[in-house]
Structure 1
Amino acid sequence: MRTVEVFADVLCPFTHVGLRTLIDRRGDRGLAEPRLRIRAWPLELINGSPLDPDHVGAEISALRSSVRPDLFGGFTLDAFPRTSMTAYALAAAADRVGDPVLIEGVGLALRNALFEEGLDIGRTEVVESIADRFGLAPLDAESTFVAVQADWDEGRARGVVGSPHFFTEDGGDWFCPGLAISRDDVGNFVVAWKQGTEAFVERVFG
């Protein structure tokens, strides 16, 4: 099965838009592949601290007002996780199985829980409920850290610069290929579809 690898943080709203947009385009074409193998790009470890919920909330407001008003309907700052590692424990368990359909399904389910259902995927019971749907058991904390660190190391070796960063099987790679992100004069986020977005989509599905 053809795959596209995506190095991404599980709490990153730009990744949620990127993944959902590619899957929407895949569905529009009546295709079942390529599937998305979502790897960890753990901003919590990279930055040395958890993501700031207010910062993420500002990003989401910009995304909803510009490119994807249909997404983030259930998001709430009160449910934003204090850590991403609980969610990575399930994502890493799925990756161990090696089934591209399962890996994609788990990655999307975690993000949908946070961004569309308003659930705190930093809570063990929330992640275990998602795990049950897929017949999986999340990894323990030590195994999770090893798996996430391995993805981070591989991502750096391959030139990943941020979340999300896509790699296609024909050697193409793009950092956040669909979105142009900037700030206005007072510091508010401004998001628009990036010029060349359609070329990226055609490269993925061509």
Structure 2
Amino acid sequence: MINADAEPANTASPSAAGLANSDRRTVTVWSDIGCPWATLALTTIHDLARQRGQDLVIDHRVFPLELFNRRPTPKPLLDDEVRAVLRAVPGLGWRPWTAPEYTYPVTTLLAMEAVQACKLPEVGGVRASDELDAALRRAFYEDSRCISVPAVILDIAELCPRVDTERLAAALAQGASRSTVYEQWKSAQRPEVQGSPHFFTPDGVDVHNPGATYHRDDQGLQLTHYDHEWADELLTSLGSG
């Protein structure tokens, strides 16, 4: 039986040999908070785990699109992807950006740094990290909040019961996890990591952007099919581990 309150081993250092946390209860995902595909996949697996009553631990690693592309992700591109997801998967609670455009996030690096900082034991640990990651994604995709801003990140962290916000603020002020973000970016350049999102488990699950079938036409990006079966298979593999 899995103890839902137990803290899994944190092997999140990108200097480790593998791309997955070695704890067999844990799913490792490489992603960018500003990637709708990653947020869709994470929402899917979290929702299904809750429906199954299954404990789920996610170890977040960064796939920082702005570092790979040497630019912020263009808002029109992201808007197109969000619209495509909403047409195919209604009921997510997402909506196109509704705040003034001058408040649109130009970077997600600090948000991803905060997620990594939450792994520090004094801040909360791996489960706190996943809690903040989910809250930041909801704030961006549902509430149009500028998650580039430290004060906004810390306000969102206040909503996360596992996160010690004061210690998170101190960690961010010290840049405690900034090097982790850049080290993980270096690891994410390995060919095994194909993009955002990419899921790994120590027992061999290896899936990039699972469940999504899409194409572009004259009307823009079309998500023609989204299959939840991948998440059911992944969770079943954890349950048998």
TM > 0.5 fold call = yes
* C-alpha distance in 1 between matches for 2:54 and 2:188: 28
CA distance in 2 between counterparts of 1:85 and 1:5 reads 19
Of structures 1 and 2, the larger Rg is shown by 2
1:204 aligns with 2:235: yes
In the other structure, the counterpart of 2:115 is 91
CA RMSD, aligned part only? 2.2
Determine if contact 2:89/2:226 at 8 Å carries over to the other structure: no
> What is the distance in 1 between the residues matched to 2:180 and 2:117?
9
Matched residues, number = 203
Cα distance, 1:173 vs structure 2? 0.7
Q: Percent of pairs identical after alignment?
A: 29
| 1:89-168 equivalence runs, <5 A | 89-97=113-121, 99-133=125-159, 134-135=163-164, 136-137=168-169, 138-140=171-173, 143-157=176-190, 159-168=192-201
SS in 2 for 1:38: strand
- Residue 130 of structure 1 and its aligned partner are, at CA, apart by 2.2
1:32 deviation in Å? 1.7
Q: 1:68 to 1:140 in 2, by over 3 A?
A: farther
Alpha-carbon offset, residue 69 of structure 1: 3.8
Provide the C-alpha distance between the structure 2 equivalents of 1:68 and 1:36, rounded to a whole number of angstroms: 25
Return the letter of the residue paired with 2:220.
N
The alignment's TM-score, normalised by the length of structure 2, stands at 0.76
Q: Distance in 2 between matches of 1:73 and 1:139?
A: 29
Normalized per residue, the structure richer in helix is 1
Whether the 8 Å CA contact 2:80–2:221 is kept in 1: the answer is: yes
Specify the SS of the correspondent of 1:139.
Answer: helix
Counterpart residue identity of residue 195, structure 2? G
Q: Classify 1:152/1:204 alpha carbon distance in 2 versus 1 (closer, same or farther; 3 Å).
A: farther
SS in 2 for 1:95: coil
**How far, CA to CA, are the matches of 2:204 and 2:133 in structure 1?**
23
Query: What runs of 5+ residues in structure 2 fail to find an aligned partner?
Result: 1-7, 9-24
- On the 8 A contact 1:11/1:84 being kept in 2, the answer is yes
- The unaligned stretches of length 5 or more in structure 1 are none
| Structure-1 residue corresponding to 2:37 | 14
- Select 2:224's aligned residue among 192, 202, 205: 192
1:144 Cα deviation from its structure 2 partner: 4.5
